[in-house]
Structure 1
Amino acid sequence: MSIVYAILAMILFGSCVFFYKQGTPFFSTGLGASVFIMSHMIILTVLALVEKTKLDMKHLKFLVIGGVLGGLAQVCWFLALKHGKLSTVVPIRNLALLVTIALGVIFLAEKLTLLKTIGIILGLIAVILVSI
C-alpha cells in the first residue's frame, strides 16, 4: 500500500506545483506561502480530528523541527518558482531525496546498496540534463 500512496503523492505534488507556479507572480513570498500552508492546515486539521490520535509530547520536537524546516523550505520553494522555470527548479528541488537518503543512512542505519547508489548517480545525471 505504501507504493500506492507514494504514487498518489507524486501525482498530487506534481500537480500542486503547477498550480502553485501559476499563483506565485501575483503574491508576495510570505502571503503566497501562507495561503499554501493554510490550505494544507485545513485538510490536515480535519484528518487529525477524524483520527483522534493522542499527541506524544516526548517526540513532538521532531514534528516541530520538521515543521520549521518545511516552512523555511516553502519560502525558498516559493521564491524559486517565482523567479525560475518549472523545468529547472522542480528537478533541483526533487534532489531533496538525496538529503533524506543521507540522513537515513547516517542516523537510522539504513542500508545504501550498490543498486541504490547507481540509482542516485543516475538521478543526479538526469537532474543535471533536465535543468540545463
Structure 2
Amino acid sequence: MDITMDQHDGIGLVNLSGMLTSDTSESVRARVQSWYEQQDCPNVVFDLSRLDFMDSTGLGVLMAILKMINEKSGQMRIASMQKKPSTLLSITRAYRVLDIYDTVDAALASFQNQADETKAE
C-alpha cells in the first residue's frame, strides 16, 4: 500500500495505491489522520485510481476517516474508483454515504461548485 498526501487549491488530496485490506488498514488510517490533523484544509478528495483492491476492513477505514472529517466540519469525496473497490461499495451500499465522482477533477470542482452555490444564496 502506497499513500501520498498533498493539497490542491486548499483541498486535501490523498492518493491510495495497492490494496487496502486488514493488513494495511490501520496504518492507512493512522497516517491519514495524522496528516489531516496537521493540515488547514477541511475538505479532502481520495483518489482511488490506483487502488486495486479493498476489503470490508478497508471500507471501514474510509468510513472512519469520513466520520473524522465530518466531525471537523469538512467533507470527503471519493474519485476515480476501479472496478473491484466500486463493487464492494455497491454490495454494501456505502455509495449512499460516500460522495463518489468519476474523476479527481470532478471531485475537486464539486467543492468549488458548492462554494459558488453558497455565495449565490
Greater relative CO (CA pairs within 8 A, separation 6+)? 1
What's the TM-score, normalizing by structure 2? 0.31
Which structure has greater strand proportion? 2
Q: Which has the larger radius of gyration?
A: 1
What's the TM-score, normalizing by structure 1? 0.30
